[in-house]
Amino acid sequence: MSRKKTFGLYRQGCGYSLLEVMVAVVILSVGLAALGLLQVVNVQNTYNANNRAVAATAARDMADRIRANLVAYENGLFANASVGANNNCATGGGGTVCNFTAMAQDDLAQWQQQLGALLPAGAGVVCVDNGVIDDGNPGAPGCSGTGNTVIKVFWRETASFSDDLNADDVNNQWQSFGLVVYP
């Protein structure tokens, strides 16, 4: 077997071997898989951030409703209120006399309906609390009964891969947002 002489040097090997190409493909595949996982985590975190923004907006909405009905607030109708009644006050009453009590119940019912529609398992309470304002869950909102009027919004949030690799225990964990109301 003879070697070809090129410019005074012997040509030993040209190009890439199959093994080098396979190693390059494996490295590229791992990089692309990592980018795909990064995209999934990014979408999930964006979704969770959107839920937090919706919860904050809903809490501010309820605070505005409380400020618009100061007589009900001063009479304690918003304190420890978890269930409202739809009295059709916002649509002109529909035959219902909408005094401050009926309006407070109607505001709470509409707000809770909005939370259920906008957030996954969304719920909320208006209560009096002096401790941590964003604790508890819809079944046990953690309201002490003393202190300031607090709006608490609850929803379910799934854990991202970046939170915990064994996220089975963390999936669908209750999240909360609290807002103190100062009318």
In order, the DSSP letters of 79-129 are TTB-------TTTT-TT----HHHHHHHHHHHHHHHHHHHSTT-EEEEEEE
pLDDT at 96: 63
Give Cα 166 to chain centroid, integer Å: 20
| Residue 155 belongs to a domain | yes
CA gyration radius, the chain? 30
Q: Residue 7: inside a domain, yes or no?
A: no
In a domain, 122, yes or no: yes
Is residue 5 a part of any domain in this protein? no
Is residue 128 domain-resident?
yes
Question: Is 1 inside any structural domain?
Answer: no
Query: Residue 12: inside a domain, yes or no?
Result: no
Whole domain around residue 143: which residue ranges?
Answer: 17-181
Residue 6 resides in a domain: no
Give 132-135 contacts, CB < 8 A, sequence gap 24+. 132/178, 133/178, 133/179, 133/180, 134/176, 134/177, 134/178, 135/176, 135/178
pTM above 0.75, yes or no: no
Q: Would you say 52 and 76 are in contact if contact means Cβ atoms under 8 Å apart?
A: no
Domain count, the chain: 1
Those residues with Cβ within 8 angstroms of residue 97's Cβ, 6 or more apart along the chain or in another chain: none
pLDDT tens, the chain, 183 aa long: 555 555 555 556 667 788 889 999 999 999 999 999 999 989 988 998 999 999 999 999 999 999 999 998 888 888 766 667 777 776 655 556 688 888 888 889 889 999 999 999 899 999 888 877 777 878 888 888 888 889 999 999 876 555 444 444 456 788 889 899 887
